[in-house]
């Protein structure tokens, strides 16, 4: 390929964000949406090119920091393509859903427009620009083939997300505190990762090749020393804070509670996936020996995240915090599948990243509608919504069923594969993790019952005077369709992801256990 398709894909949202700052206020949101839709089309084109010509034809590499062995290097494998497609699909839907977001108050567009050109903070075009910046940084991370390039955009993604939380939350004081906490946890993880990168360079130099290319690093034998164990721990801590996992999870519920529905969908559906994505790229591929060494502890933390997140979700009174805690539980499943190291669990875990973005993204968007309509995120502020807004109730039920991994939804496929892979190696762990699945049904259905069923309360009758608008339905229907389509026809997605799983298995030097059939010698 002579044309840099991958660079164009990642840079396009950045250019769109810059353009938003140059146009009139009233057209800023439109520019943002058009940019996101063109990025979606380009992402689909890149997927077609990869299928037609192979990933190698799309690779780009230009020498960058030669003394450090670093290069501007982009590439795309099956896992990266899956995450790219999730990102380019989710972003335009978020912009459609948050079309009237302007100041963080019940959010009329008129207030946003009144801010005037250059007002920045809290304006409608600032929201669109920040979403596009997050998209650009995330795409660069998913495409980066160089460790330093990965790190630069991994850290850069913190800045626009910080302003999305700080500028558009409902409470000026709480949103600032939540944004600062989000930033501090992210910077702490980035600092640890920086030390790990220095250690990786030292290990590569010991092997006779100073390089930051992830492909070349994977071909070196970096493991088997105390330094490699320390470097592995550094990477894992950085990514576990981003994902997040218990005990580094405390920033997420607070940040989600102070975000708009679309902001939370972007943060949890895309940005937090940089953590699990990094675990694959660095922890499993570069340091497979250390991954096996740390497996008992990591699996313990994953199970703790699954159960803690589920039990915490049951006790939440705030809807945004509730969905955030369910995500902590789901991230536990993803990490558990990754470090179990079977083909089924790895493929299921990577597929889980996509499915979680779909179901949780839809839930956050729908709850964002409800919170904006009611003016409160408290569970007790609702009741009988299904009688006055049946479409909203039906969509919320379907998104919730996707979140609890009901058969027929895409999450069922990924969660079943994770559990099957875990059962093959760690029976007891699989049983404990299954408790998280049971709890998921409890917190989703119980929450739905309290929100949607029963008599219509006075508060609901007063605030819910209309069902979802056409625009609001347009933002959610594609996600619900994808949840069902990938639930009944997951094979194309699994075929895309499975080569990455097989590569990890080869790098780790492990094989799947042969099935045991009773009565057969």
The count of other CB atoms within 10 Å of the CB of residue 280 is 21
Cβ contacts of 228 within 8 Å, gap of 6 or more: 199, 203, 222, 287, 289, 290
Q: What are phi and psi of 238, to 5 degrees?
A: -60, -45
Contact 87, 270 (CB under 8 A): yes
Q: Which residues make beta-bridge pairs with 213?
A: 146
| Helix intervals (H) in 169-244 | 172-206, 214-219, 226-242
Residue 521, C-beta contacts closer than 8 angstroms, at least 6 positions apart? none
Buried b / exposed e across 417-448, counting CB within 10 Å, b at 16+? bbbebbbbbbeebbebbeebbebbeebbeebb
CA distance 118 to 132: 18
Q: How far apart (Å, rounded) are the C-alpha atoms in residues 311 and 439?
A: 7
Q: Cα Rg for the chain, rounded, in angstroms?
A: 22
Q: Are strands 70-74 and 60-65 parallel, antiparallel or unpaired?
A: antiparallel
Q: Alpha-carbon distance 393 to 381, whole Å?
A: 15
Q: Are 200 and 187 in contact (CB under 8 A)?
A: no
Distances 47 to 132, 310, 494, 504 between C-alpha atoms, Å = 20, 36, 15, 22
The whole-number pLDDT of residue 465 equals 82
C-alpha distances out from residue 485 to 100, 238, 441, 480, 493, Å: 30, 34, 21, 9, 11
User: Between the CA of residue 48 and those of 5, 51, 298, 382, 497, what are the distances in Å?
Assistant: 12, 5, 37, 45, 16
pLDDT of residue 517: 54
Structure tokens at 71: 């290069």
Q: Are 142 and 84 in contact (CB under 8 A)?
A: yes
**217 phi/psi in degrees, rounded to 5:** -65, -40
Residue with tokens 């990762």: 193
Provide CB contacts within 8 A for 155, sequence distance 6+. 186, 187, 190
Under 8 Å between Cβ of 72 and 61: yes
HEC secondary structure over 303-351:
HHHHHHHHHHHHCCCEHHHHHHHHHHHHHHHHHHHHHHCCHHHHHHHHH
Token duo for residue 389? 């807004």
Of 311, 412, 327, 387, residue with least CA distance to 362 = 327
| Alpha carbon 131 to its chain's center | 14
312-339 burial, b if ≥16 CB within 10 A, otherwise e?
A: bbeebebbbbbbbbbbbbbbbbbbbbbb
What is the separation of C-alpha 30 from the centre of its chain, rounded to a whole number of angstroms?
25
Residue 277 near residue 353, CB atoms below 8 Å: yes
Gap between the Cα atoms of 50 and 217, Å rounded: 24
For residue 100, the model assigns a pLDDT of 84
pLDDT tens digit at each of 521 positions of the chain: 578 999 999 999 999 999 998 876 557 889 999 999 999 999 999 999 998 887 778 999 998 888 888 999 999 999 999 999 999 999 999 999 998 886 444 433 333 333 333 333 468 889 999 999 999 999 999 999 999 999 999 999 999 999 999 998 777 888 999 999 999 999 999 999 999 999 999 999 887 788 999 999 998 888 889 999 999 999 999 999 999 999 999 999 999 999 999 999 999 999 999 999 999 999 999 999 999 999 999 999 999 999 999 999 999 999 999 999 999 999 999 999 999 999 999 999 999 999 999 999 999 999 999 999 888 899 999 999 999 999 999 999 999 999 999 999 999 999 999 999 999 999 999 999 999 999 999 999 999 999 999 899 888 888 888 899 999 999 999 999 999 999 999 999 999 999 999 988 887 778 887 665 555 54
């Amino acid at each position: 390929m002579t044309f840099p398709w991958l660079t164009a894909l990642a840079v396009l949202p950045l250019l769109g964000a810059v353009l938003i700052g140059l146009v009139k206020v009233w057209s800023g949101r439109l520019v943002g949406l058009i940019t996101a839709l063109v990025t979606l089309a380009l992402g689909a084109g890149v997927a077609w090119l990869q299928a037609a010509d192979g990933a190698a034809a799309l690779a780009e590499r230009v020498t960058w920091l030669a003394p450090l062995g670093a290069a501007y290097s982009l590439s795309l494998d099956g896992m990266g393509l899956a995450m790219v497609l999730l990102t380019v699909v989710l972003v335009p839907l978020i912009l459609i859903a948050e079309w009237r977001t302007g100041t963080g108050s019940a959010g009329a567009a008129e207030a946003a427009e009144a801010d005037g050109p250059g007002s920045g903070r809290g304006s409608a075009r600032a929201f669109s620009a920040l979403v596009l910046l997050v998209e650009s940084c995330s795409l660069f991370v998913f495409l980066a083939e160089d460790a330093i390039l990965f790190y630069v955009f991994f850290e850069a993604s913190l800045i626009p997300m910080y302003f999305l939380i700080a500028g558009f939350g409902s409470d000026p004081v709480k949103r600032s505190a939540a944004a600062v906490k989000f930033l501090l946890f992210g910077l702490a993880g980035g600092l640890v990762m920086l030390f790990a990168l220095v250690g990786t360079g030292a290990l590569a130099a010991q092997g006779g090749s100073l390089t930051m290319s992830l492909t070349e690093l994977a071909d070196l034998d970096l493991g088997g020393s105390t330094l490699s164990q320390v470097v592995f721990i550094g990477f894992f801590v950085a990514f576990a804070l981003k994902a997040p996992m218990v005990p580094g999870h405390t920033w997420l519920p607070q940040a989600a509670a102070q975000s708009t529905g679309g902001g939370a969908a972007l943060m949890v559906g895309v940005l937090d996936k940089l953590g699990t994505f990094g675990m694959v790229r660095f922890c499993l591929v570069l340091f497979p020996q250390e991954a096996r060494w740390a497996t008992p502890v990591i699996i313990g933390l994953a199970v703790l995240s699954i159960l803690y997140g589920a039990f915490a979700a049951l006790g939440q009174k705030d809807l945004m915090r509730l969905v955030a805690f369910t995500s902590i539980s789901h991230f536990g499943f993803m990490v558990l599948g990754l470090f179990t190291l079977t083909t089924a669990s790895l493929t299921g875990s990577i597929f889980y990243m996509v499915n979680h973005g779909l179901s949780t993204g839809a839930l956050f968007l729908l709850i964002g509608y409800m919170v904006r309509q009611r003016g409160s995120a408290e569970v007790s502020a609702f009741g009988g919504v299904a009688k006055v807004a049946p479409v909203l109730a039906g969509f919320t039920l379907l998104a919730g069923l996707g979140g609890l991994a009901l058969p027929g939804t895409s999450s069922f496929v990924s969660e079943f594969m994770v559990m099957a892979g875990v059962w093959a190696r760690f029976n007891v762990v699989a049983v404990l993790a299954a408790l998280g699945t049971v709890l998921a049904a409890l917190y989703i259905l119980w929450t739905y019952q309290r929100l949607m069923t029963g008599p219509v309360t006075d508060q609901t009758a007063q605030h819910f005077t209309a069902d979802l608008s056409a625009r609001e339905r347009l933002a959610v229907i594609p996600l619900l369709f994808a949840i069902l389509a990938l639930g009944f026809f997951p094979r194309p997605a699994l075929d895309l992801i499975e080569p990455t799983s097989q590569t990890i298995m080869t790098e780790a030097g492990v094989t799947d256990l042969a099935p045991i059939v009773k009565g057969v010698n």
